[in-house]
Amino acid sequence: MNLSLISEIFNSVNLKEIFTATMVLFAVIDITGSIPIIVDLRRKVGHVQSEKATIVAAVLMIGFMFVGESMLHLIGIDVNSFAVAGAFIIFFIALEMILGIQLYRDEEPETAAIIPIAFPLIAGAGTLTSVLSLRSEYSAINIIIAILINSIFVYVVLKNSGRIDKVLGKQGINVLRKIFGVILLAIAVKLFATNIKELF
């Protein structure tokens, strides 16, 4: 990497873009709203691989930022279709939280990392679609920094989910599940409504 390229990257760093992209991704990832799901997974499998889940999610987001749209076009899928698929995923996760049912099942999982935490919980269709949208407006370096900032926060939440569980207790977790379930349902409906009209 030569000095001119380093200088170009450094000059592209914009604190306003970093802040905006960080806030957008923080809202879409909504790791705080996923605490009840993470706690449930920890209870089911006994261990959540925080480091692995965080790294895989960050790599997915950064990688998708560069190749996502081309990859979707290659297999004949547009961004709007991808977003609608993400709306369905969020919708079913919300149903689990609100109704207390289990739709996601794994064959005797030993740990939870890549699925379902890294994908689709953190780097889900909604997050990846948002990354593509940000890429059209902001410099890549600023989005990468925003992704890394969110990844640090995600790691802290994943690593301390056991403590959070103890502080909130079973009743607190149940209340959070209902509240965030309704919020996720609303996000799913909005994501679906925004993108479905672009398909017709």
pLDDT in tens, 30-50: 787 777 778 777 777 777 789
* 62-85 average pLDDT score: 82
- Token pair 């290659």 is found at 74
| Per-residue model confidence (pLDDT) at position 112 | 61
- Which residue type does 139 have? S
> Tokens 């379902």 correspond to what residue?
116
Angle between helices 125-135 and 79-99 (to 10 degrees): 140
- Look up tokens 């895989």; give the residue: 56
pLDDT at 157 > cutoff 60: yes
Measured between alpha carbons, how far is 117 from 193 in angstroms, rounded to an integer? 25
Q: Where in the chain are the domains? A: 14-102+114-199
